[in-house]
Chains A and B, each alone.
Chain A
Amino acid sequence: MAPPNRLPSYSRRAQYTTFFGYLAGVIGALVGGGLLIISIASPGAFSGLRGIASDATEPVAGLASKGRAKSIGIAETISGFVQFGSQQARMKRELAEAKVRLVELEAQAEENKRLKALLQLTEADPKPVIVTRLISATTASTRRFATLSAGQTDGVTVGMPVRSPMGLIGRVLEVGHSTSRVLLVTDPESVVPVRRGTDGVAAFAQGRTDGSIQIKLIGLGVNPLKVGDALVTSGSGGLYRPGTPIGIVAVLTRDGAIAKLLSDPAVTEYVAVEPVWAPEASKPIQQPTAAQVGTAQP
């Protein structure tokens, strides 16, 4: 294609138009830079705008999420058909094992209830605030956020954990009118206190952006983790209820491990928003003031 003539003729007006066009472009870039500095300095600065945008686009995104769930279902059906024989045999074996485990667990649950009664602990599993869909995710950025189709009007508040039947997905970061923004556990900013499911080896799970999580042990020493260990939330910090599964150890590192996420948000249709587990515990401990210390002394 022949290039168009880029010279804007001898008309003064046309030359000015081109000049001011470029000026506007450069000013636009500078404005963008300024806004970027503001949002780096305070990441929540434009949450209101984002909330309005995701509220406005919720109907479209909600429709797409229904279609997405269906298409994932089709893909699973096809792959299931291909692996039918071997899967059938494996599942039969696993079912037999699971039945035995179930009886054991029932017995343990009974014992657990009895022991709790002895300790006079009255703690039931809380009902989820709402069960809803993930309607979009930041799949083109290195930050891992998702949008939830429930917001202020549904009783969602900042900090609530979000989970699927498979395990923890993230926590609510910003709340809009009818949508809210979720910080996924795979985002590098997300740090979840976890422990090994079988015993109490404590660690932190930090997101690694690529769909896995980095496990950092709290107690240094010989790495006790093994490939295949299941990790659950420990409840310290008070945000996440203890015992929510999060990942399986896949690769060991020197000071911990890299774990595979249990609940892939890509194949999750419905998620539950749970209330903050123990809001008192998530508050920072107050330093006692001199006056308080003074009055406490005899």
Chain B
Amino acid sequence: MNPASRLTKPITDRFRSRRLNRVPSPILAEGLPWLSILLGSFIPLILVIGAAPVMPPIGFMMLLSWRQLRPGLLPVWSGVPLGAFDDLFSGQPFGSAILLWSLAIILLDVIEARFPWRNFLLDWFTSALIICLYLALGLMFANAAGGGAAMPVLVPQLISAFLVFPLVSLLVSGLDKLRLIPIVDLD
């Protein structure tokens, strides 16, 4: 093969040729969903210090996206460790996210079994509904533990969560591609 034809070869082909005899890293493939949800719980809280609740619950939204994209990837019990981490930083009474995240995972599995063929629009609206319930119940738990906020306080957060959800899904599908890149040499 002469060098000129090698240069005219499409870039994707050259990239693909590097994938031969390689597999995805198991650490990345298994760990990236967990890591992304943990960061989703933590990073938004240090980016903005607000006098009002305005940030959508990014960690919870990432969990929903991962479960909708890859239903069996995170185990059913993953709500316990991930929710516990979220509770440590979110300001909610400890246990609130453990309970609600576990319930959300089970609910998503029921929906998955009932409607196996879904499009993104349906996923978006199911998530919006679940996020509504999640925030409302979270507010009730927070009020029981000493707060006293009224429901209208949630409106800005609900709107932002609804609008941001497609972006979170996009990020999750990007991460899903990233985690399956074959980088570990078999030799």
Contacts and interface: CB of A to CB of B under 8 A. Distances in A.
B57 interface: yes
Contacts of B89: 53-54, 57, 136, 138
Contact of B76 (A21, A31, A136, A184): A21
Interface in B57-90: 57-58, 71-72, 75-77, 79-80, 83, 85, 87-90
Given A25-B76, A40-B93, A189-B146, A209 B112 contact: no
A39 B153 contact: no
Interface string B139-160: 1011111111110011001000
Interface in A253-297: 261, 264-266, 268
B169 interface: no
Contacts, number: 203
B92 A143 contact: yes
B168 interface: no
B52 A140 contact: no
A139 B45 contact: yes
Interface stretch (B4-12, B24-32, B99-107): B99-107
B49 A266 contact: yes
Contacts of B143: 142, 188
B138 interface: yes
A238 B125 CA distance: 51
B26 to A, nearest CB: 19
Interface stretch (A43-51, A124-132, A216-224): A43-51
B162 interface: no
A206 B150 CA distance: 14
Interface of A: 3-4, 6, 21-22, 24-29, 31-40, 43, 45-46, 49-50, 53-54, 57, 60-61, 64-65, 68, 134-146, 184, 186-189, 206, 208-211, 261, 264-266, 268
